[in-house]
Structure formats: C-alpha cells, structure tokens
Copies of this chain bind each other. A is one copy, B any other.
Amino acid sequence: MTLTLARLQALDEADPLAAFRAEFRLPEGVVYLDGNSLGPLPCATAARIAAVVEQEWGGGLIRSWNDAGWIDLPGRLGDEIGSLLGAPPDSVLVADSTSVNLFKLLAAALTLRPGRTVILTETGNFPTDLYVAEGLVQHLGARHVVRRCAPDALVSALGPDVAVLMLTHVNYRTGAMHDMAALTAAAHRTGTLVLWDLAHSAGAVPVDLAAADVDFAVGCGYKFLNGGPGAPAFLHVAPRLQAEMRYPLTGWLGHADPFGFDEGFRPAAGIGRAAVGTPSILGMAALQVGVGIASRAPMPAVRAKSLLQSGLLMDLVAQECPDLELELVTPRDPARRGSQVSLRHPHAWPVMQALVANGVIGDFRSPDILRFGITPLTLRHADLWRAVAVLRRVLQGGEWRQEQYQARRPVT
C-alpha cells in the first residue's frame, strides 16, 4: 500500500503519545531526527535549573548539600533511571561520563575474574568503548587483551579465558540491537561477566536488567533521556556483585564516610562506592527533568511507536527514493533494531549537511552513514513525510553537491 501524507497524519491523530511533544521545545521549521545524539529541551528544564541555581545554590549555598538533598541525588536519580531499565533500587548511580564509568566497571570486572585475560567485544562497537577497554589493558601492562569479533561470532568466542563480554545493546551506526537476555545467559554459562552499554537504549527500547540477570551496565543521559549536552552518565551493578566491587578510581564520595576524612579508603556499601568526585548538580537537575518525562511514558507504547515510525521511514525511503544510491543499513526485523534508521550513501557527509540546511536534522556517521534517530515522544508521523521529501529533493536535485556542504566541521 502506498504511503501518503494523509495516512501519516491519520496516525498522528490516533497517536497515544502525541501529547508528549508539547512537553518539549522544538524550534520552528525543524524535523529533529537527532534525539539519539542530543535529546531536545524539555519545557520544564529551564525553570528547574533556574530554581536550583537561584534558590538552592544562590540562597541555600553550602547548606543545600543537605537541605536540598544534593548529596543523595546521584542515587535517587539513579533509582529513577533504574526503574526505566528493570533495575532494582540501589543498583544504578548517576556519575561521571559513560567512558569513565566503562573504565571503572571493566577494571573491577577484571579483578572479579583474575584467571581470565580477555575482554570480548564486537567489531563496530562504539569507539569510546573500544578505546576505554584498550586503554585499560595497556594501563594494566598488557596482561589482558581486547578481542573483537563479528556480532554473529560472539557466542562461539566465549570461553574460559573471557573475563567480561562488553557490548553496546543498540549499535550507534547501524541501529542493530542485540538480544540482551540471550547473550547474557550465554556468557554466564561460560562464567563470563557481561557489561552492556545502554547509550542508545535507555528511554528508547525495552530493557529489563534484572530479568536478563545483567551484571553491569552503563548509559548516557543526553540522548533519549533528554538530559542536555554533556549530561551526567549512569552505571548499574547487579546487587549480587556490589560487595565485591573494587574500583580503580577510589574518590572521596565513594567512601563509606566521606566527611569523616579518614586517610584510608573504606568503600561505601552498595552502589555508592562507584562514586568518585563531586557530582554535577546542574547536570543532574537537568537530567532529572528528562528522566521524569520518560518515566511517565509507558515503554510498550514508546516501543510500538518507535517501531512503527522506523518502519514507516524505511518504507517511505523505499517508496520515494528508489535509485538514489541509498542502502538501508538498519535491520528490517523489529526484534533486531533499536530506535533509529541508518542509510548508507556514498556522499553521506554533504548530503546530511544539505538536509540540515533544509531543516531536517540527522547525523552523519563516518564514513558513509546517514543516521536518523526515532524519538517517539516528540516525532510526528507526518514529520517523516517531510524528512523523506527533503531527502528526495536534495538527492534528486543534487543540492548536496553545492560548495557549502563539502567542508568538514569539528563535530560531525
């Protein structure tokens, strides 16, 4: 059946999540398909930050660490994120960046499997995950190795030498999604610990960390959780492992009694020992607003709309842009894709620049990927029509060949 704008508009009329769009400020004239790089601004964020700045910081000053509950915020906000991810209370902490959290958890995981020497991951994992693992291994004197293999060879690569399996749940380039429960179970059968990077999962796809018996996870606050640029990240440690965790980064806020100022480190009980330095209160205040919105959006509805929209985008591209050198990269199988659609094009960089100049904002991912994030809380079905119409025009008319779209910029 041919897709029409009218049909997409009808889907918007019937959309049970339609009201969420009004909770975000989106610029006029923009179709934003980049909420998986930087989620849009919730309407409530500015006022919340202003209150934290003016009342809590300006008025309360140092007293706000107690009176405004700043000191507990990493754990409280962690619990709010954890409830989106099927994580039990006191198993998620907001802290640092995703990269730093990866380092902390990977290092601790290696100490839990002292006889094993391999960090297993996949080719094509997000680079920072690979860099962090390699950096850790070098730092520890190269007694370990980072082994990368193709996604479909992961299970057969598991074995008694693998300390930890480190994977990103939804691939940043392709949008392919792993079977978290199956891979975790396969790893556990070989005594391997599992660390999932949820950067493109939290707030975007169903995740049940407890049901999958996941050991460790990290994730990002500024994508589908709409926490703002450089929002604090989070980490998860299964309660059964928390007492054994020995982190390489032992900062004062991970101490059992930070304000006792003992000269010796005594780790806090539970998830709190994963804290290091003083957490960003402004960053957490903004993140809390985004997480609050996500908490009110039923994940089954979010997932249904996400799959509907990513499927529609695939179908629209096939219908409107045949013979335009576009190749679908994201899996068609709904069980195997996250919340994005990636298309390969030989001139992806200038094509994306031309799309952005025409108000359709997605991402370029090196070397040849056009990446479109699907954010069901803000994206209308009719927006997909406009996005694909612009894509078609840019490609057919050759607008992307214009000079101003060729130059690379620092952030791509």
Contacts and interface: CB of A to CB of B under 8 A. Distances in A.
Contact of A410 (B49, B72, B135): B72
Contacts of A107: 139
Nearest to A139: B248
A8 interface: no
Contact of A278 (B222, B279, B363): B222
A253 B100 CA distance: 12
A222 B282 CA distance: 12
Contacts of A286: 53, 282
A250 B127 contact: no
B261 A366 contact: yes
A52 B280 CA distance: 16
B97 A251 contact: yes
Interface size band for A? 35 or more
A111 B272 CA distance: 30
Given A70-B229, A410-B259, A103 B248 contact: yes
Given A40-B58, A250-B134, A228 B281 contact: yes
A105 to B, nearest CB: 13
B40 A127 contact: no
**In the complex, which of the residues A50, A56, A100 has the most CB atoms of chain B within 10 Å of its own CB atom?**
A100
Contact of A131 (B66, B265, B410): B265
B66 A54 contact: no
Contacts of A410: 65-66, 71-72, 259
Contacts of A363: 62
Contact of A411 (B71, B140, B246): B71
Nearest to A34: B62
A83 interface: no
Contact of A365 (B233, B261, B282): B261
A148 to B, nearest CB: 8
A277 B97 contact: yes
Contacts of A126: 252
A131 B268 CA distance: 13
B57 A228 contact: yes
A387 interface: no
A288 to B, nearest CB: 13
A179 interface: no
A231 B58 CA distance: 14
Interface in A36-51: 37-38, 40-41, 45-46, 49-50
